[in-house]
Amino acid sequence: MADTNTNPEVQEQQNPEQFLQSFNWEKYEEGIEKVEDNKLKEFEDLVEKNFVETADDDVVEGTVVHLTDREAIIDINAKSEGVISLNEFRYNPDLKVGDKVEVLIDVREDKSGQLVLSHRKARVIKAWDRVNEAHDKGEIVNGFVKCRTKGGMIVDVFGIEAFLPGSQIDVKPIRDYDQYVNKTMEFKVVKINHEFKNVVVSHKALIEADIEEQKKEIIGQLEKGQVLEGVVKNITSYGVFIDLGGVDGLIHITDLSWSRINHPNEVVELDQKLNVVILDFDDNKSRIQLGLKQLQKHPWEALDADLNVGDKVKGKVVVIADYGAFVEVAEGVEGLIHVSEMSWSTHLRSAQDFVKVGDEVEAVILTLDRDERKMSLGMKQLTPDPWTDITSKYPVGSKHKGIVRNFTNFGVFVELEEGIDGLIYISDLSWTKKIKHPSEFVNIGDELEVEVLELDVEGRKLSLGHKQTTENPWDKYEQEFAVGTVHNAAIDEIVDKGATIKFNEDIVAFVPSRHLEKEDGKKLKKGDVADFKIIEFNKEFKKVVASHTAIFKEEEEKNVKAAAASSTASEKTTLGDLDALQELKDKMEGK
């Protein structure tokens, strides 16, 4: 039975496409069937039009006719269908039957008689034309993110490996690059280096274009006091940057919380969504100041209405300065404890001597101004005032021991107990030593015995003395070195207008120049040992004046006085004898 497909009558009724599909090649080649010349010409034209010549390296378009787990079967209108590994379609995971793809014939026939096609090679051949066209026209292209690399990502675009810098992935900083690997994304070709065959793409450029439109719309609607939703974009030590949908605003650290914080990350975290209020912005609205704490009621407004002066409160030390410490008694409500209110001592110290940041302390409210939102606190008020019974504890004349706390040019401050300080004037430190500065006599921190000299309860002042705790040696010296007493000593120093001699550790006497003269008319020199007579002793001013000359001058005066007395007596005796002789003569003469 003859094949109806080769029947000339049937052939005439068929159109060229039907004829091409039903034509029997084998019978034609064996000469069994003859074909009219005009039909043969139509057939040849149709073959030339529809069938692919597998001998050249042209890129052709094929159709996916079947998909397996590992391969795609492609029809390119050749004698047989071709096969391509699905690995070449990793950039297009949505490949499906019926899709048109560009291919290059890699192997004309494998062992099974199938064409081996290459989609990758076909893409590379066409890629540069497409990349250049996309760059010139600013077109958006699809790319497959293959892997990470230093500074960014490698993207497959039309079969070419393009570079996606990390800064061009998104408008916000990227912390996890791996989330983009094996994803297909849209890009814009931003740079081509033809010499080195380098292509740079950007995804950020597409986002920025959309954001720019949103930005104009948002900026046009901005108003002070407006509340917007934003996302934490970046956190710094001084504040937080918020993305308001293409427009960035800054929340300064002081506007994050009513409470004091050391760093913004105590309040917010990256990518957190927040409602913020617009506090201010510049003329072109490029710098927007935002607030977070302003959306909450001020803590002072929520402060317990029954809290009054004199009440005890507890809180945490949040800031310390030399003059005092700030204590948070409620969230956002702080009170100042001045250093003078930390101790009853009048000797002020640094607040760090009493508390440190983070300490939980108890205090008494001293002042409270709700309108000005100010509060002052005191710690010393929690303990009794030591001056309450001062007269019974430290009466005048009583002796005590204290610690040297501070010096002044005129005296020493001694602490008898916490809150009780007294002053020792420099003149009350020693009976005998001439002290120019207290540091010559005592050191800070030394324990010193004192006697209460004066007590001013109202003025909270104590006058103390140290020398009064011992006997005044000048009482004894007043007798020992009385005027007229003679003592043996050596010349210690020759000074202006005289010399000094040391009788003991306390008594240093002055000898005027004219009182240094010796009996032979010469003067005493340094180191000479001689007797000295005290010619002046002043207990109050601790002044002693001595003289060597007075010793032998006194002897001379004694001798002069004796001679004069003897001469007077001789004169009296001679005159008396004359009178007696005259009387005797008169008797003899009978008178």
User: pLDDT digit string (tens) for 239-288?
Assistant: 999 988 778 889 999 899 888 888 999 889 998 999 999 998 877 667 88
Cα separation, 588 vs 568, whole angstroms = 31
Taking only the tens place, the pLDDT of each residue in 34-58 is: 556 565 555 555 544 444 444 445 6
423 versus 208: which is more confidently predicted?
A: 423
498: pLDDT strictly greater than 70: yes
Query: What pLDDT is recorded for position 582?
Result: 63
Residues 347-370, mean pLDDT to the nearest whole number: 87
Q: Give 473-551's CATH code, choosing from 3.90.550.10, 1.10.10.60, 2.40.50.140, 1.10.275.10.
A: 2.40.50.140
DSSP state of 163: E
1: pLDDT strictly greater than 50: no
Residues 147-167, mean pLDDT to the nearest whole number: 87
Pick from 163-172, 211-220, 294-303, 368-377: least confident: 211-220
CATH architecture observed for domain 4-121 = Beta Barrel (2.40)
Domain 299-382: assigned CATH number: 2.40.50.140
Which SS3 state, helix, strand or coil, does residue 392 take?
Answer: helix
Taking only the tens place, the pLDDT of each residue in 508-548 is: 899 999 999 888 888 899 999 999 999 999 887 888 999 99
Taking only the tens place, the pLDDT of each residue in 58-96 is: 678 888 888 888 888 888 876 667 888 888 887 788 888
Query: What pLDDT is recorded for position 55?
Result: 43
What's the 3-state SS for 441-459? CCCCCCEEEEEEEEEECCC
Pick from 104-113, 287-296, 440-449, 569-578: least confident: 569-578
Cα separation, 106 vs 74, whole angstroms = 13
Query: What pLDDT is recorded for position 559?
Result: 57
28: pLDDT strictly greater than 70: no
Domain 222-295: assigned CATH number: 2.40.50.140
Query: What pLDDT is recorded for position 332?
Result: 84
Closest-CA residue to 149 (of 136, 166, 134, 135): 166
Taking only the tens place, the pLDDT of each residue in 191-206 is: 888 777 788 998 888 8
Q: Name the segment(s) of the chain with CATH classification 2.40.50.140.
A: 4-121, 138-207, 222-295, 299-382, 390-469, 473-551
Query: What pLDDT is recorded for position 312?
Result: 92
Q: What are phi and psi of 589, to 5 degrees?
A: -85, 0
Kind and range of the H or E run holding 129: helix 119-137
DSSP state letters, 400-430: EEEEEEEEETTEEEEEEETTEEEEEEGGGS-
CATH superfamily of 138-207: Nucleic acid-binding proteins (2.40.50.140)
CATH topology of domain 390-469: OB fold (Dihydrolipoamide Acetyltransferase, E2P) (2.40.50)
Q: Other CB atoms closer than 10 Å to residue 101's CB: what's the count? A: 21
pTM: 0.43
Which residues make beta-bridge pairs with 243? 231, 248
